[in-house]
Amino acid sequence: MAQIRLAMAQMNAVVGDLAGNAAKIRDFVATSVAQNAHLVAVPEMALNGYPVEDMALRRSFVEASRAALTQLAADLADDGFGETPVVVGYLDAIDEANVADLDGDENPDDVSDKSLSRRLLPQNCAAVLHQGAVVARYAKHHLPNYGVFDEQRIFAPGRDLVVVRIGCIDVAIAICEDLWQEGGPVAKTREAGAELLLVLNGSPYEMDKDDTRLELCQRRAAQAEATLAYLNLVGGQDELVFDGDSLVVEPAGEVLARGAQFAEDLMLVDLDLEPNTCEATQPPVGVQHYTLSDEQVEDYEPIVQELPQRLEPLAEVWNALQLGLGDYVRKNGFKKVCLGVSGGIDSTLVTALAADAIGGENIIGVSNPSQYSSEHSKDDAADLCARVGADYRVIPINPMVTAFLDNMNLTGLAEENLQARVRGVIWMGISNSEGALVLANGNKSEVSVGYSTMYGDTVGGFAPIKDVFKTMVWDLARWRNAEAERRGEQPPIPENSINKAPSAELRPDQVDQDSLPPYEVLDQILDRYVQQRQGRADLLEAGFDAEMVEKIVRLVDGAEWKRRQGAMGTKVSSLAFGKDRRLPVTSRWAAQAGPTA
């Protein structure tokens, strides 16, 4: 048997920050080498950030990525770490003249400057850096084109599997979707006889996805007959959040190591593997083999691995929302956030999330009471801000609403919406004058049925809970308070905000159920219609009231135009509004909908 110490840097990258990401990689490598790692890896597109989307089509960005990779290899050698191989995810491209490379006519693995005067064919790549140079390059084979991914539109696929020999152990390299598809690099890994399959990933968080990943890695490790190291990004990027949760499994399925969830982590994993059996000079067809060293590492005392405790489901969602919000604020250069606080459960939960993400002292909580605002709502808003340490401001809207009504004849719904829009103007005014990011408080139930006022409560640059159904909003609030009590801290959410009936308070004695079914029922219908894409016939077969089904389906379909104009928010479900669900605004299908509507 042969030993190897693998360092897996579960890294939070920033899209486009090549210098900052490279500096972070150098720090991870320095720490890894100081702890005697033989191989260091960082995740998919770690040098560029992920996903880069159409930035990959810009020649200047591709050229900058190549230059940054070359510079990183040189800098690591100057740092004294050139002898330690480092696997880095990055953006590269071939130009149209070299498209024959994909069919095997030429060697596509030259990462030196190429003419980009023709149409770009970007590639999602991994490079092996050693002794100050880029010694190997692997391009992602399988390009996901579902959900939030458009990689077939952006990238050209790779062809060959790359295997590098390090200390007499052969290491195969793959990238994310290559693992999810049958055959391809996994099958080639078995054929090449590699003992370790290293997979760089940018896999976004979804509820329950960690179990799916584990089962996948166990299955692929068995198929490849190799130990599998799955290294994932961590951090928020626009509406996506990457949860880390990296892992190493051996062919029989045993989990040897697992990374932290929702936090940067450097995993040092000692592996005891069979020495290579492949003839390096005659690799199988479709395999490129590079020997970096073939002298077996001297025996050493391995690190004792302790698997971290897994987060419970609600803790996972909270951490995902907290990281997604915090990184959106930090990575976009904001210092503070501003939001309307009404004492209701949605604004209360968003405030508690923001306090955990960026600190309560960086929150401006604005109460905008109207003539319909209850005393308990105002008291609950003040209590909330005191609990989290937010800057609490009270700006009544009556004088402004009255000024509008004195000049416009608005009644009914128009008058109700006017109140919401005046509030939105106030929040945006604070944002413009003080540079605070406005947070929208809408939850997924409201966003689904359009229960919101355009340019009113929809105002905001980020919507932290737009992918969280109302029933889960309450569950998260109760969980967060229970977690505070477990820690011996004051619960951040007033109990009254959790227990009272939700209301927009835009008219006397208003409650949400004047317009909507009970949320317990509404969310079940929305889960089936939106998440599971079930149609009317499916909902009726499940036992829901026909009139209610017709109403909810009509509301969901009719609110598409609102959702198109809403702020982005962190994705935590398998199907979030936005890139996951792309429907036309103008459509008559609902009026003649059949079973698959």
- Flag the least confident range among 178-187, 237-246, 261-270, 325-334: 178-187
Q: Tell which of 306, 328, 345 closes a domain.
A: 306
Strand ranges for 143-254 from DSSP E: 161-166, 169-175, 196-201, 227-232, 234-237, 240-243, 247-249
Which SS3 state, helix, strand or coil, does residue 126 take? strand
Whether 285 and 355 share a structural domain: no
- Could you tell me the pLDDT band of residue 98, with boundaries at 50, 70 and 90? low
Closest-CA residue to 200 (of 162, 170, 165, 167): 162
Q: Within 10 Å of residue 482's Cβ, how many Cβ atoms?
A: 12
Whether 355 and 479 share a structural domain: yes
HSE-CB at 283 with a 13 A cutoff on CA atoms is: 23
Strand partners of residue 169 = 166
- Could you tell me the pLDDT band of residue 105, with boundaries at 50, 70 and 90? very low
**Of 24, 44, 125, 416, which residue is the catalytic one?**
44
pLDDT digits (tens, 9 = 90+) for 123-157: 999 999 999 999 999 999 999 888 888 899 999 99
Active site residue 44: yes
Whether 293 and 345 share a structural domain: no
Q: Which amino acid is at 140?
A: K
Whether 434 and 298 share a structural domain: no
Residue 594 pLDDT: 36
Number of independent structural domains in the chain: 2
Residue 96 pLDDT: 67
Q: Is the pLDDT of residue 108 over 50?
A: no
Domain annotation covers residue 503 = yes
Whether 295 and 358 share a structural domain: no
pLDDT digits (tens, 9 = 90+) for 5-60: 999 999 999 999 999 999 999 999 999 999 999 999 999 999 999 999 999 999 99
Domain annotation covers residue 569 = no
Residue 591 pLDDT: 41
**Of 24, 125, 140, 505, which residue is the catalytic one?**
140
- Could you tell me the pLDDT band of residue 505, with boundaries at 50, 70 and 90? low
Residues 72, 22 contacting (CB under 8 angstroms): yes
pLDDT digits (tens, 9 = 90+) for 361-397: 999 999 998 887 677 778 899 999 999 999 999 999 9
Q: Is the pLDDT of residue 99 over 70?
A: no
Residue 118 pLDDT: 58
What is the percent of the chain where pLDDT is above 70? 92
Whether 69 and 161 share a structural domain: yes
**Of 176, 217, 338, 385, which residue is the catalytic one?**
176
CATH number where 19 lies: 3.60.110.10
Residues 471, 518 contacting (CB under 8 angstroms): no
What whole-number distance in Å separates Cα of residue 391 and Cα of residue 286? 61
Range of the domain at 508: 314-512
